[in-house]
Chains A and B, each alone.
Chain A
Amino acid sequence: DADVTQTPRNRITKTGKRIMLECSQTKGHDRMYWYRQDPGLGLRLIYYSFDVKDINKGEISDGYSVSRQAQAKFSLSLESAIPNQTALYFCATSVATGGTYTGELFFGEGSRLTVL
């Protein structure tokens, strides 16, 4: 079983609909992230959470919200989906190294969202 699990893996929806992407992890990591991937733009950070009570905006948070329900669960919501939110979304986890840097990221398999 995957250590970082995303649901759904694929979703097609219409403009204006509310969508939730869910992420759960069994790695025991405190840090969780949501990224989106677009062709030619790489991975861009949407939101991140360093623990259950810590939520931070990333580079492209407009139009998105998140909820950290537990250490192991981090969900991403699109309150009113629009076509330019069509993308591949990745959840990731990491562990604090105790030093200056965040450790490597462990990614889920991705959720492909299409907004018509």
Chain B
Amino acid sequence: DQQVKQNSPSLSVQEGRISILNCDYTNSMFDYFLWYKKYPAEGPTFLISISSIKDKNEDGRFTVFLNKSAKHLSLHIVPSQPGDSAVYFCAASGVNYGQNFVFGPGTRLSVLP
């Protein structure tokens, strides 16, 4: 049973509009979350993180929102650009998880010109 879920395998957005990628988790012991971006033929690269003491973290065009009561986080990309087209992975960790990360299955974002 997946502890980190990304229920949308793919998402298409028009250039300049907002992209919203969602992630749900089931383990209440998770309290640190990251987003990674992956281009074809490359390894994932870190994008942004958030700890459970916050409900929002912003870095340029990227904002992550955390709703602990709903066990839900989302990544907002505004404005979306064609170079944002990639697979996005949500990952979670916690003190009792051996300081390791559990990844979601990923969402493929396509930003259309």
Contacts and interface: CB of A to CB of B under 8 A. Distances in A.
B89 A107 contact: no
Most buried by B among A45, A58, A105: A105
A107 B43 contact: yes
Contact of A101 (B9, B32, B42, B105): B32
Band of interface residues on A:
20 to 34
A30 to B, nearest CB: 12
B43 A4 contact: yes
B93 A43 contact: no
Given A43-B89, A102-B101, A104-B46, A109 B41 contact: yes
A110 B43 contact: yes
Interface residues of B, number: 26
B6 to A, nearest CB: 8
Nearest to B90: A42
Contacts of B46: 104-106
Interface of B: 4, 6, 9, 32, 34, 36, 41-46, 49, 51, 89, 91, 93, 95, 98-101, 103-106
Interface of A: 4, 33, 35, 40-45, 48, 56, 58, 90, 92, 100-102, 104-110
Contacts of B93: 101-102
B106 A105 contact: no
B93 to A, nearest CB: 6
A105 B91 CA distance: 11
Contacts of A100: 95, 99
B23 to A, nearest CB: 11
